[in-house]
Structure 1
Amino acid sequence: MATFTMTRKRGYNWFISCVAAACMVLYGYDASVFNSVQGSKNWMAWFGEPNSSVIGSINTAYTVGAIFGGFFLGGPIADYFGRKVGMGTGCVLVIISTFMQTFAPRGNLACFIAGRCIIGIGQGIALTSGPIYIGELAPAEIRGKIMTFWQMFYSVGSFICFWINYACTKNVPKLGEWDWKMVVMFQLLVPVIILALLPTIPGSPRWFIKRGNNIEKARLALRRVRDTEEEVEDEILQIREAIEYEKEAISGNYSALWKDKSLRKRMLLALIINAGQQITGQGSLNSYSTKIYQKIFTSSSQIALINALNATFGILFTLNAVWIIDRFGRKFLLIVGGIGMGICMIIVASVETQTPVLAGGAKSEPVGISIVFLLFLFIFFYKPSWGATVWIWTSEIFSMNVRAQAVGMASQTQNVANTIFQQFFPIFLDNCGFYAFYMFAGINFLLAVFVYFFIPETKQVPLEEIDALFGGANHVVQGEEVLAHQKGLQAQESSEKPATVTVEKVEHR
């Protein structure tokens, strides 16, 4: 019977985490959808053949929305209204913006751009709440495995989008303008599913205690995901101790991010590795894969198929992290991933630049296959390491008082870095070709060195005790003293009250 109970609750842990991780499908789908519709002649004709500058503005609108949502809205919504409300709000905005993009009137590019901006805001909000929710509900010993699904679901989003797009490119005469509208419209699928499932999952116990000191609701939430009553009570005590210490000794609000030296250090490290995630080369491959493959292949359907297969293998490669993240640790994965990606980039650049170009401007078939294999090998290293592990590490290093805001800011640094980097990468690629990949190799090696010297291991460390890894106080131990002091004062007050009443009665008589 005990085994059944443990299996059931552990399975429920996975279920609620997958519901939250589905927010990442929104990101993965949208990161691929605009890249896909640009290849549609019907989309270009519908909006009056926009030039490269206008297309760049559409990309910028999404990025600006995501940065605004993540930096300024995601944290406050998750903290004041709850993690579930944050995820739900993001999904509603994605649904609204999907309709705006799909049914934008002919020639009305402003409506399409507004939809891109709103979808960015929605994703900025959802991508703040999702990983925090998973980190706060998952048991420490499997937190890394569960958070792996966060990155895997990004690949699921790309998978859905690229295969739908591939199918549409094969049926353009039948679909007409719906060859691109169908790709955009399918973005409704996942947010609708998330909204339907949100009522079936518990709220965050840390949020219940943080916002209203509602210990009973926190206890009920934990009972749904923990195996024993002892685990429930121990975790509630740890949460209360950590929160009390943060209120008394640091700050109960976001000002702790610059008041506390340990938090400042964590914020800087999180900003660096989140920016690093986007300059490994994966951000450029995702945004400009078609442009990159056009230098190797001449068939557009062949390129679409390669993109779809890339997304498919991305899912499988991310799953590798499930069995290695809590075995070998976050630091090990980031270092090995950085070195592996660097080596892949060196070989890709060497193969492409040192082989002859055919008359049609493409490479020979063996060279093309070799480059595709190497770029697939690159994502083999990227997905479980700088793909999944960066999100895992970021979501678990911050204390409760600043977690939502800090995760939102750190994760949106990915968009900031990507926006800046992608401004010059297409020019770099046009002028230097695959020599640009040597730059990525150098960046990846530097990131591996940075992790070795500056990133501490957080494997299987309880959230409330992670502060000690960064030179801060153990919030549980310190909070225990705060609570003990408060109890002592309460006991003293209660012992003094009856004595006062007795004296008053005697004097009255």
Structure 2
Amino acid sequence: MVGLLKLKEDRPTPKAVYNWRVYTCAAIASFASCTIGYDSAFIGGTLALPSFTSEFDFGSMDKDDRALLQANIVSVYQAGAFFGSLFAYVTCHFLGRRKSLFVFSALFMLGAGLMLGANAARGLGLIIGGRVLAGFGVGGMSNIVPIYCSELAPPAVRGRIVGIYELGWQLGGLLGFWINYGVNTTMQPSHRQWLIPFAVQLIPGGLLAVGALWLRESPRWLFSKGRRDQAMANLVWIRQLPRDDVYIIEEVSYIDEDLERYQCEVGAGFWKPFAALRQRKVQWRFFLGGMLFLWQNGSGINAINYYSPTVFNSIGITGTDGALLTTGIFGLVKTVVTVGWLLYLIDQLGRCKLLMYGAVGGSLCMWFIGAYIKIADTANRPAGSPLDSGGIAAIFFFYLWTVFYTPSWNGTPWVLNSEMFDQNTRALGQASAAANNWFWNFIISRFTPQMFIKMGYGVYFFFASLMILSVIFTYFLIPETKAIPLEHIDRLFAVRPVRKANDVIMAELRLQDEEFRHAVEGVDLSEKKEKVEQKENV
């Protein structure tokens, strides 16, 4: 068991580095992802509640008009998030990670509050406007939190620390699925019944705003701004090591070398990262980051999240209660599997293997589900008909798909994008990646109802095909980033072939560390320590 849990470290690391502070900072910041996960889970079920459809007169609309209105209510959130994720680059540059979280959490709370004012007399305007503003807030937070977590984390557990962001997403989703089931089964249809799920989203937003008072700013951001005293104080606080510890000296030297290299190649400043886009190597990483979210959304996850009752009805489950219960179990499975991904898989098995294994398994499940719907002709089955053995198997394969997808494409693209950019392009790169996520999320959420109407079982074959293509993409183009320090990511992306890059860089790091440790008793360490101290005194 010890061997299974042993971390792959870039250099000998004091146990104090893996302390409660780094985990707590990540957990507090990840209340942001709770808000995102909650929305993705609750909105589809709430739109299907009898009280909501009755209050806003969905019953008088024909099927196409109702599908269009539902798609608009869901997708304006993603549209707002797209622009919020881009604007977060501005706030991250000038305000830093911590203050930016305050700004975007406040915008989210304002938008969530606006939604509570909607009713039959006022119409859906407040819900749609509030969702745009709340989406802007969560878009910004989706940019900031993975960066913040990756910059705090020791390399050996960076996947785990950034993965807390994904765990928050799943916990929020779990709450959203079961809130809908709870209000549907325990309350009579009323204005209050559908208002409660909208109100609950204020809870994680409020917890983030309060918890952020305790957070410390990212030391790497402070170093990049020349605020070395505060940066050193925060780094020492997070690592729980003294300033003169070998590990701290070595980490600061890595950061300094990376900043000096980038100053020479590109230069610092708000517009400099845009100038860096002229470099092919930077363009390539922006392309890879965006494509990861194309494949993630191409798996079908957001079609399921936002329109879960529609998905389960297509398999043959009828009635609001049955669809919401099945959806709640789906959220529970995702959350349990995410814990395993967070504690073990992401930092042991690695990013690329997870993506490929998950895509292959998930694709096979989608092919089965689509074939069952085609053969059983579930769309023309009489209402209230019980599931046959094939339908039960389809439900099983749906949950099996969840087991394959959750520890692979659900959170791993966020981890990779938080790692693959250097210090000066990290905020812009994450803004691009998050914007890509919300763009493809918008496309899926906007057109899923129409896809189910026009394509039927073909929707599942469509997603299955995209998952197979993602395996080819990952194998040939994505290097394994597991355990690589952020300051050595540029070198990682320069190694060919891609599938061997991690082993090459880890071998180089071990050699460098041996030389560094050998110099501990000699003048080399004194010179490196003196160089760090000189920078602090400037």
- The interval holding the TM-score normalised by the smaller chain is 0.7 to 0.9
1:318 aligns with 2:334: no
Given that 2:148 and 2:218 are in contact with CA atoms closer than 8 Å, whether structure 1 keeps it comes out as yes
1:264 aligns with 2:283: yes
Q: CA deviation at 1:79?
A: 1.9
**Percent of residue pairs bearing the same amino acid type:** 25
Q: CA deviation at 1:9?
A: 5.5
**Count of residues in Structure 1 that have an aligned counterpart in Structure 2:** 476
Report the Cα distance in structure 1 between the residues aligned to 2:43 and 2:252, rounded to whole angstroms. 45
SS at match of 1:294: helix
**Equivalence for 2:249:** 233
1:190 aligns with 2:204: yes
1:247 to 248, 263, 266: 263
**Equivalence for 1:500:** none
Letter in 2 for 1:347: F
**Equivalence for 2:91:** 77
**Equivalence for 2:364:** 343
2:453 to 430, 435, 458: 430
Structure 2 length as normaliser, TM-score? 0.83
Q: CA deviation at 1:45?
A: 4.1
**Equivalence for 1:205:** 219
Report the Cα distance in structure 2 between the residues aligned to 1:316 and 1:206, rounded to whole angstroms. 33
Letter in 1 for 2:322: Q
Gapped regions of structure 1 (runs ≥ 5)? 478-482, 492-509
Report the Cα distance in structure 1 between the residues aligned to 2:254 and 2:456, rounded to whole angstroms. 55
1:81-480 mapped onto 2 (5 Å cutoff): 81-105=95-119, 106-173=121-188, 176-211=190-225, 213-228=226-241, 229-252=245-268, 253-295=272-314, 296-321=316-341, 322-355=343-376, 357=378, 358-360=381-383, 362=385, 364-471=387-494
Q: CA deviation at 1:76?
A: 1.2
Report the Cα distance in structure 1 between the residues aligned to 2:405 and 2:175, rounded to whole angstroms. 20
1:475-494 mapped onto 2 (5 Å cutoff): none
114-123 or 322-331, which moves further after superposition? 322-331
Letter in 1 for 2:166: Q
Given that 2:17 and 2:154 are in contact with CA atoms closer than 8 Å, whether structure 1 keeps it comes out as no
Report the Cα distance in structure 1 between the residues aligned to 2:71 and 2:445, rounded to whole angstroms. 10
Report the Cα distance in structure 2 between the residues aligned to 1:161 and 1:257, rounded to whole angstroms. 41
Given that 1:266 and 1:397 are in contact with CA atoms closer than 8 Å, whether structure 2 keeps it comes out as yes
Report the Cα distance in structure 1 between the residues aligned to 2:173 and 2:138, rounded to whole angstroms. 15
Structure 1 length as normaliser, TM-score? 0.88
Gapped regions of structure 2 (runs ≥ 5)? 1-13, 496-504, 513-526
Deviations 1:181-204 (A, max 9, x none): 110101111111111111222110
Letter in 1 for 2:151: E
Q: CA deviation at 1:8?
A: 8.6
Deviations 1:158-197 (A, max 9, x none): 1111111111101332x72111111010111111111111
Given that 2:43 and 2:306 are in contact with CA atoms closer than 8 Å, whether structure 1 keeps it comes out as no
Report the Cα distance in structure 2 between the residues aligned to 1:238 and 1:302, rounded to whole angstroms. 55
Deviations 1:388-422 (A, max 9, x none): 11110011000111111211221221221232244
Letter in 1 for 2:217: G
Report the Cα distance in structure 2 between the residues aligned to 1:256 and 1:328, rounded to whole angstroms. 36
SS at match of 1:379: helix
Letter in 1 for 2:335: I
Report the Cα distance in structure 2 between the residues aligned to 1:40 and 1:298, rounded to whole angstroms. 14
Letter in 1 for 2:178: W
Q: CA deviation at 1:362?
A: 4.8
265-274 or 151-160, which moves further after superposition? 151-160
Distance 1:362 1:294, change over 3 A: farther
Deviations 1:49-99 (A, max 9, x none): 47523333323321221111112x111111210111122222111211111
Q: CA deviation at 1:335?
A: 0.8
Report the Cα distance in structure 1 between the residues aligned to 2:39 and 2:445, rounded to whole angstroms. 17
Letter in 2 for 1:85: K
Q: CA deviation at 1:459?
A: 0.7
Letter in 2 for 1:415: W
Letter in 1 for 2:19: R
**Equivalence for 1:504:** none
Q: CA deviation at 1:302?
A: 1.1
Report the Cα distance in structure 1 between the residues aligned to 2:219 and 2:330, rounded to whole angstroms. 38
Q: CA RMSD in A?
A: 2.6
Deviations 1:238-263 (A, max 9, x none): 21221122122123232244122211
Q: CA deviation at 1:218?
A: 0.9
188-197 or 246-255, which moves further after superposition? 246-255
Given that 1:23 and 1:126 are in contact with CA atoms closer than 8 Å, whether structure 2 keeps it comes out as yes
Letter in 2 for 1:28: G
Letter in 2 for 1:328: L
Report the Cα distance in structure 2 between the residues aligned to 1:18 and 1:432, rounded to whole angstroms. 41
Report the Cα distance in structure 2 between the residues aligned to 1:239 and 1:140, rounded to whole angstroms. 13
Letter in 2 for 1:43: F
Letter in 2 for 1:179: Q
Given that 1:46 and 1:107 are in contact with CA atoms closer than 8 Å, whether structure 2 keeps it comes out as no
